[in-house]
Structure 1
């Protein structure tokens, strides 16, 4: 007899549900960090322009981020278990197909589809998890989910480096298939079907306008390194994105059952959760992509060594999120999260003092500090997201939160990459002869920002390896200070909005009343 037929859920069965969702959650960070380490090898195997290569990570993040709210709404409407099963199986199949990609276009398209499938699995899984646990048990469950993400982030680069060295970059996509299939099998057996009884339809127009706005904005930012912020294509894309986003707001305000309940933004704690969701993108996530490119392309490390170096950045994720969940017995999640972001800012400043090519000890210690800092809020964020809405709207809450987090990560990666390319280009302009055209400097800077030292040297025949490394190091140094400043500002916002221990009774009553009236 299945668990659904039994109709009872004991403690062991709830732990099995948690295990299935954690296994699914493990596949997402591995699928993000693994291809990031594999980018140099992918470039050698399939070629591609800097923009095409950037879409290996950005296509996944954009599709993932823009699909999370859709996934949360569909899970509430049609069933959390049903969507979880579709998402996990789809992700496993797409991972196998990606192994056989023969062009950058084909690979980027598959990465986008992977993002959609992963969003379906994560949003429905988190919503299902919220149905099984209450109070402190829910906080600890989501802390364990955060720890699972940490395992993926910590082990992903190491596993990817090993696979690339021994079996080639295509084997990276195989590493998540087995995990996802285990999640599919366990979820099919132990997760019970739940849905929001008040869900009456799906906001397709809201989903389309939100996805369109996010897509146009991301494409605009990705074009900045080659075209500049004030170029006609970039300005046109940004204007289009703004227009579509304005349409999205109008649609959501008029919808009886919106995908995004805009009234929630009247509550300070809900706003604070969204700031917290976006903060790790600049303090930590962008480094998961930029540092492997630096280690492999600029410093000349092999993929395995680079993966081992990256372990220092994510190793704290193995234990700190769970410990942070235990600390909530005495300290508020907002306070713990704010302290974590302050540590991230300190770690980025420390890392800025570690130029490429130097002894790695200080670099590793700085990365560990950043990892500790981001691990403190990592396991608490999902629990905070569902704590500010009624239980039956958990799918929407996790969808909004994870959309802010993942879409913010994709946008942050695009913006930071553009900033790094612009800084490198400014440094090259001060050292290269005046006869070198701006187009050549731009192309060389973009290649150098992505860690493609050999191509940059081909574009600038008068340059030296040491000279280009110095131009890159100066730009990376300045970029880390920018990231530290953003982390410091984010910490201040989190302290302000989430520093108190719990939402007030009036705030929760108003929130529930607002949702009941939808």
Structure 2
């Protein structure tokens, strides 16, 4: 089923616009975290939820929204997703506290899942095979542009307008995409699509939310609290039940048989661990730039460009390198580069200013750009043409879940490193508690009291927490490299099966 030539390119334009808005929103939020912390009185736990709520919901709904679109109508599901994303963006501009923003981000995550999944399905329906490469290239370009433009645009808006402006920009873009979609996109559905596995969805989402919640709450209550380990145990039980259910149901949410192939597992695990580390570092580094180095939000966004530039530049080298030395060695090389970058950042951050920060960010970005395409290529190369669609959806889902846990776990490492290291000598008890117990608390108290000694101590505590975060990320990358060595076959046995890997599958962070 295809539409007329002129109409389908208008359809592509509408899809690219909304995909760009989704990509910009995800990366722009990173530079806004310090502003949200100050203006919404949001602690590290609230900031972690602001990030994780969007990512976790989007990840767990990728596969179900695809199945719903196939069964009940792709246009209907896609435009519903656009409308929900628009609604979430509108709510985000109106709220005045962390809880309201977390709710808005959850709505945006629901919309993002439908947009990300169904935009691809609509492209495949609208465009004939000979024109699909050009359309997919535009899809990939929209994903790529969100990486560098998000922090810059977000930083500019925060420098000149109030914090809600980073979400306000989504509203006209979503409205235009919704209008064009209503007019131009044809309806389509699959006559053989199975009923979505809603029981599996509830078990997997409940389990993942519980695990993230327990990890974030550890920062406030500690591991000994029943409210922490009890929730973590409940999450683990729910996920175990999900695995059991998946093995018995006729049409499971995720086909666990995909993981029987070592190439798929050996590519999926490093890609997920890399996303875990990447989201965690992007959660912490913009806060360091603004809280410790004293940059503006726009300056913070610009200072992230070495990481993003390194990732984009080296991703172009990934395919030739995979052909020459194979995915296994390419993943290990990329993982070691990321590790070296993180270790350099952890050992040179204090008092080093931005110069060395730009260096370690570039090194880490170069490693990410090598590792991610090679990992995706290894995983997708294990799949037949019939498995490519569901395999890519599973891979993207697991990666985004890893990203949600990255912000939660590494954000908690930051809090653990900060907690108790601020010198509160001479402060009133209430001020001392505020300065010592919450990341950024000492900075806020120091600014309120105009206390240079306290400000220096809080910045040093934050830097210590960030160093621990980078070392944890480096350890994660070492594990990723080791698992690639263990799981992936040696050179000669690890070539792709033939279906290859489209760029769009690995450009989005």
TM-score bin (small chain): 0.7 to 0.9
Q: For residues 330-353 of structure 1, give each alpha carbon's deviation from its aligned partner in whole angstroms, at most 9, with x where no partner exists.
A: 564554444322221111112123
Q: For residues 310-329 of structure 1, give each alpha carbon's deviation from its aligned partner in whole angstroms, at most 9, with x where no partner exists.
A: 22221234444345356556
| Cα distance change, pair 334–455 in 1 and its aligned pair in 2 (3 A) | farther
For residues 226-241 of structure 1, what are the structure 2 equivalents within 5 Å? 226-241=220-235
8 A contact 1:425–1:441 mirrored in 2 = no
Task: Specify which of 325, 339, 363 is matched with residue 357 of structure 2.
Answer: 363
| Cα distance change, pair 27–256 in 1 and its aligned pair in 2 (3 A) | same
Q: For this pair of structures, how many residues does the alignment match?
A: 495
Task: Specify which of 197, 209, 215 is matched with residue 203 of structure 1.
Answer: 197
What is aligned with 2:404? 410
Q: Does 1:481 align with 2:477?
A: no
CA-atom RMSD in angstroms: 3.9
For residues 47-446 of structure 1, what are the structure 2 equivalents within 5 Å? 47-127=41-121, 148-180=142-174, 197-325=191-319, 330=324, 332-379=326-373, 386-392=380-386, 394-425=388-419, 427-428=421-422, 444-445=435-436
Give the Å deviation of 1:453. Answer: 1.4
| Cα distance change, pair 216–498 in 1 and its aligned pair in 2 (3 A) | same
8 A contact 1:154–1:313 mirrored in 2 = no
TM-score (norm 2): 0.83
Q: Structure 1 residues 299-308 or 86-95, which shifts more? A: 86-95
Aligned partners of 2:441 and 2:31: how far apart in 1?
Answer: 11
Q: Does 1:494 align with 2:498?
A: no
| Cα distance change, pair 307–435 in 1 and its aligned pair in 2 (3 A) | closer
| Cα distance change, pair 501–382 in 1 and its aligned pair in 2 (3 A) | closer
8 A contact 1:332–1:501 mirrored in 2 = yes
8 A contact 1:283–1:370 mirrored in 2 = no
| Cα distance change, pair 394–442 in 1 and its aligned pair in 2 (3 A) | farther
| Cα distance change, pair 402–284 in 1 and its aligned pair in 2 (3 A) | same
| Cα distance change, pair 376–128 in 1 and its aligned pair in 2 (3 A) | farther
Instruction: Give the secondary-structure state (helix, strand or coil) at the position aligned to 1:464.
Output: helix
Aligned partners of 2:135 and 2:315: how far apart in 1?
Answer: 11
| Cα distance change, pair 462–154 in 1 and its aligned pair in 2 (3 A) | closer
Give the Å deviation of 1:494. Answer: 2.7
Give the Å deviation of 1:230. Answer: 2.1
Aligned partners of 2:394 and 2:82: how far apart in 1?
Answer: 20
Give the Å deviation of 1:48. Answer: 3.9
Q: For residues 28-83 of structure 1, give each alpha carbon's deviation from its aligned partner in whole angstroms, at most 9, with x where no partner exists.
A: 34222322322232334333444333322122122122222322332443454443
Q: Any unmatched runs of 5+ in structure 2?
A: 501-509
Task: Specify which of 438, 445, 469 is matched with residue 447 of structure 1.
Answer: 438
Q: Any unmatched runs of 5+ in structure 1?
A: 509-518
8 A contact 2:85–2:111 mirrored in 1 = yes
Q: For residues 407-437 of structure 1, give each alpha carbon's deviation from its aligned partner in whole angstroms, at most 9, with x where no partner exists.
A: 1111121111111211222645xx6679999
Aligned partners of 1:386 and 1:125: how far apart in 2?
Answer: 20
| Cα distance change, pair 208–155 in 1 and its aligned pair in 2 (3 A) | same
Q: Structure 1 residues 46-55 or 140-149, which shifts more? A: 140-149
Aligned partners of 1:23 and 1:335: how far apart in 2?
Answer: 37
TM-score (norm 1): 0.82
